[in-house]
A and B are shown apart, each in its own frame.
Chain A
């Protein structure tokens, strides 16, 4: 009755922290080409993250939640998706979004404060990075269920954090997904902290993956700093969901190396030796060692990416105040049209089709 629903005692690991092959039978090791692609994406992702963090310190961005330390989770998930699948990322998943192929400057639109989302979700099959916790889990379930109703071969993969597992929407999403057998994969990046609150104050469950059994969902616990293991597990989950086996819950055990955001001070709630422990488990060095790489193979490419971000972030976008009144509704209601004319002191004579404007050119609102 419960067969296959519980995670293994030890997190799934294909490559150990020292860079050696772990003896495991759960999933096959991805081929060298895939592992190299994972490593390359992690190098780019880390460099992107460092560059954006630096730009934030310089005041070029309003805020930035760093992905450093979680590159294996984010690239392993993003690269496991097929082109027709959808990704539902959170605010901390910029590296996953960049790995999905979205222009880094479009990713930074929201963090720069230019608009709330800078890319086309439909074009990239990537939802806007979600700020409220866990609400995106339900969007993923709905999208996946719609895909099933339409006989589309599409899986929705949703990223969430350990803190989000306490939210009611996570419960509802797991339950809906299981009841509907929706092709959706939940990837929980357990980085140990919800801002400052450690996991043991968040849950009394044996692990976050153990939560799946209560919903009848197959669950896996994976070493989130092992890109090979994350990729293999998410890939298997996507295949299973696509084949009609229903949803999968994956807990990826990782660590947030930086503070919650640039506005946070992590020294107030965690110790240096804990950070040092996780530095030993660095996802990039582990995979480089396994692949026999020097670690500098993709540095030039990453440096080009960083330089491009630096250059383009050096120019301030100047969003138009008129854009405030766009896309509130499919068509601008008359009352909003009048408020815009009034607020922006626009000449009514220069605008056609605005009824009810006073002759002096000011709106009535």
Chain B
């Protein structure tokens, strides 16, 4: 590589600090570029501008344009060339500007990025990370708010992960960049500016692992990405109504961490799955089916889904009707066939 990066301040990422999700992801990219000269970052507006959400802010100046650069405006081109770069030993991290703008890259992602390792019997792996800001809740106009996760989770060969908090966003992105597999990295736009005081470290749950964020006895609420905070809000509100909710952050949507999730559901006996995307053929359908198959004799009630409506993503003034909120989660909780008082 022709660019010599500036020395990193090793303590920068390890001390406890107040940081936004966007800032934590920025830190993760900078630390990954620092740690491995094979890592390159490119996409639309990711250079001097720093990305429309500023996740790549300052990286082009710090690492030079042979490591971080603006590509022409073409998503298939971005993913397709990233595949070629990975074939030649680089570890590209590319950005799709918005969820729905990633669709031109769909063929490259599903037909090549996902399958090259399998096609070549393990001889050519593609360690590419495709970062996709996704989901609603920001008052975005059409094409800027899709929850597109199942388009990717249905494709074997892709790892699909979502981050929900700054500290876990840092961890997950570092893990994704280090992964030998291609990773679809979904970033919930509505949480980009949420802050957390935490130490940024890669230690903790692995790339494929879910985590119990809030322990509880009565119901397992399964969420990911932008809905984790909503699920935690429901858990706080639910306490006043007498429900003790356990909240699981899936983190990895594919592969699915059966062990962590089934252990929780076997403990609580009830489950609600929450996501922004439409419910029909949505990710919650897979979760409900798996849990029913694996936890049937532990279940006291059917697994319920709290999801977006089965409609095209609505305009900003109507999106509140579409997106799950804490009240809808608690409504679902109340329908879980309680014969006795919660907790009994």
* B-chain residues with CB within 8 Å of residue A172 when the two chains form the complex: 72, 74, 76-77, 80
* B248-260 interface bits toward A, Cβ cutoff 8 Å, 1 = contact, 0 = none: 0000000110110
> Within 8 Å CB of B72, what residues of A?
172, 175-176, 179
Chain A residues near B293: list those with CB within 8 A.
Answer: 364-365
State how many angstroms separate the Cβ of B313 from the closest Cβ of chain A.
24
Q: Report Cα–Cα, A217/B259, bound state, in Å.
A: 55
Q: Which of B83, B111, B115, B180 has the most CB of A within 10 A?
A: B83
Contacts of A326 in B (CB 8 A): 121-122
**Which residues of the other chain, B, contact A277 by a CB distance below 8 angstroms?**
none
Interface string of B108-151 (1 = CB under 8 A from A): 10011001111111111100000000000000000000000000
The verdict on A138 contacting B117 (CB below 8 Å), with A145-B81, A328-B156, A329-B181 known, is: no
A169 to B: closest C-beta gap in Å: 6
* B74 touching A142, Cβ below 8 Å: no
Chain B residues contacting A145 (CB-CB under 8 Å) are 81, 84-85
Pairwise interchain contact A176-B121, C-beta atoms closer than 8 A? no
Kindly identify which residue among B88, B112, B118, B258 contacts A146, using a CB–CB cutoff of 8 Å: B88
Alpha-carbon separation in the docked complex, A116 to B112 (Å):
12
Q: How many A-B residue pairs have CB under 8 A?
A: 154
A149 touches B121 (CB 8 A): no
The answer to whether B87 has its CB under 8 Å from any CB of chain A is: yes
What's the least CB distance linking A176 to chain B, in Å?
Answer: 5
Within 8 Å by CB of A116, from B85, B118, B180, B255, lies B118
Residues of chain B contacted by A365 (CB below 8 angstroms): 258, 290, 293-294
Q: Is A169 in contact with B1, judged by CB distance below 8 angstroms? A: no
A115 x B121 contact (CB < 8 A): yes
CB atoms of B120 and A138 under 8 A apart = no
B157 at the interface (CB under 8 A from A): yes
**Known contacts A176-B71, A335-B256; is-contact A143 B66 (Cβ 8 Å):** no
Interface: A141 (CB within 8 A): yes
The residue among A145, A329, A365 with the most chain B CB atoms within 10 A of its own CB is: A329
| CA of A71 to CA of B152, assembled, Å | 40
User: Contacts A122-B124, A356-B258 hold; do A142 and B88 have CB atoms under 8 A apart?
Assistant: yes
Which of chain B's residues has its CB closest to A177's CB? B81
Q: Is A227 an interface residue (CB 8 A)?
A: no
Q: Choose from B2, B88, B121 the contact partner of A117 (Cβ within 8 Å).
A: B121
Check A121–B294 contact: CB distance below 8 A: no
Encode A138-158 as 1/0 by CB contact (under 8 A) with B: 111111111101111010100
The range of chain B's interface size is 35 or more
**Which B residues are in CB contact (< 8 Å) with A127?**
87
B27: Cβ under 8 A from any A Cβ: no
B104 interface contact, C-beta 8 A:
yes
> A138-B84, A149-B66, A176-B81 are known contacts. Are A128 and B258 too (CB-CB below 8 A)?
no
CB pair B118 A142 closer than 8 Å: no
**Nearest CB of chain B from residue A326's CB, rounded to whole Å:** 7
Contact A147 B76 (CB under 8 A): no
Residues of A with C-beta under 8 A to B83: 138-139, 142
B residues less than 8 Å from A147 (CB atoms): 88
Interface residues of A in 146-185 (CB under 8 A from B): 146-147, 149-152, 154, 156, 168-169, 172-173, 175-176, 179
B28 at interface, CB cutoff 8 A: no
Residues from chain A with Cβ under 8 Å of B123 in the complex: 120-122
A329→B88 contact, CB < 8 A: no
Residues on B with C-beta less than 8 A from A169 are 76-77, 80, 107-108
B84 CB contact (under 8 Å) in A122, A141, A328: A141
Cβ of B89: which chain A residues have Cβ within 8 Å of it? 146, 150
**Can you show 5 pairs from A to B with CB atoms below 8 A apart?**
A139-B83, A139-B112, A141-B80, A142-B82, A145-B81
- Chain B contact residues, CB within 8 Å of chain A: 1-2, 40, 66, 71-72, 74, 76-77, 79-90, 92, 104, 107-108, 111-112, 115-125, 156-157, 159, 179-181, 208, 255-256, 258-259, 290, 293-294
Given contacts A146-B89, A146-B90, 17 further A-B pairs with CB under 8 A are A116-B120, A117-B119, A121-B124, A138-B77, A139-B84, A141-B80, A141-B81, A142-B86, A142-B88, A145-B81, A169-B107, A172-B77, A175-B74, A176-B74, A329-B181, A333-B255, A334-B258
Among all A-B residue pairs, the 10 with the closest Cβ atoms: A142-B84, A138-B80, A142-B81, A172-B77, A333-B255, A143-B84, A146-B88, A330-B180, A327-B122, A139-B84
